[in-house]
Structure 1
Amino acid sequence: MMDRYAERQEVPLDPETGKPVINTVAAVAIAPSGVGAELSDYVAQVVSVIRESGLPNETNAMFTNIEGDLDSVLRVVRDAAMALAGQGYRTGVSLKLDIRPGFSGQLEEKPRIVDELIDKA
């Protein structure tokens, strides 16, 4: 069992490859510049790429959150940005990463913990 309060965790290894498994939760916003006031059509192209990746994800009003191994998450962010940049649009990417070895399922776990703490208050 992982200790959520430990400052450092053991890094698990993938049993097939022997490589470290570095779980990552990303908050990403990708949008083109200079295309007008409404960006939904462009954002939909980006979110479609993220959803097709197969990684756990969720979209809210400001960001799309993605969870997976660091390499996989970064690959999906690149592919999603290329959905617009590859069409010639100047593309901005805002990216925040929470890299936490040893943990998984954090898209669901983090909100659950917060809800439990609020319920206790």
Structure 2
Amino acid sequence: MPIDRNAIKQEVPIDPETGKPYLNTVAAIQVSVSGAGSEVSPYVAQAIKVIRDSGLPQETNALFTDVEGDLDEVLHVAGEAAKKLAEQGYRTSLVLHMDIRPGFTGQLTEKPKLVDEILSE
């Protein structure tokens, strides 16, 4: 059944490998530390490396790293990125904004394309 972007509810696909519902999630993840000085980029980079090493589709911008995958995978990678810094003894901040949309995939690239199409009309 084709995906209807305007439908309020979608069929929830089942992951054939796990037999569990696949809850596609796009998340904006921001991880940082407090008390490490005026420049936190070396710490942020460590968290971003954890996210990139996860293998999930991702892209980093000035404030967040956007990630897409199953809800459980996204939550896991966000937690691991935060732990990377917290386990060094730093007070760690994790900001997580998620759009959980069953039935959809590829939204990390499709959402910006849709906005560009709308703006070009």
**TM-score, structure 2 as length reference:** 0.97
Distance 2:17 2:98 in 1: 25
Q: Which residue of 1 aligns with 2:7?
A: 6
Q: Which residue of 2 aligns with 1:51?
A: 52
The DSSP-based 3-state class of the residue aligned with 2:68 is: strand
The one-character-per-residue Cα deviations of 1:6-45 (angstroms, maximum 9, x if unpaired) are 1111100012222100000010110001111211101100
The residue identity in structure 1 corresponding to 2:87 is G
Distance 1:71 1:117 in 2: 32
Runs of 4+ aligned structure 1 residues displaced above 3 Å come to none
The DSSP-based 3-state class of the residue aligned with 1:21 is: coil
Q: Which residue of 2 aligns with 1:92?
A: 93
Distance 2:36 2:92 in 1: 11
Distance 2:11 2:40 in 1: 42
Distance 2:17 2:95 in 1: 33
Distance 1:70 1:89 in 2: 27
Q: Which residue of 2 aligns with 1:28?
A: 29
Distance 1:64 1:44 in 2: 11
The DSSP-based 3-state class of the residue aligned with 2:48 is: helix
The residue identity in structure 2 corresponding to 1:55 is L
Query: What's the offset of the Cα at 1:94?
Result: 0.7
The one-character-per-residue Cα deviations of 1:47-97 (angstroms, maximum 9, x if unpaired) are 000000000000000000010000000000011001100111100011101
Distance 2:91 2:14 in 1: 38
Which segments of 5 or more consecutive residues in structure 1 lack a partner in the other structure?
Answer: none
Distance 1:99 1:28 in 2: 14
Distance 1:90 1:53 in 2: 23
Q: Which residue of 2 aligns with 1:40?
A: 41
Number of residue equivalences:
120
The DSSP-based 3-state class of the residue aligned with 2:111 is: helix
Distance 1:55 1:92 in 2: 22
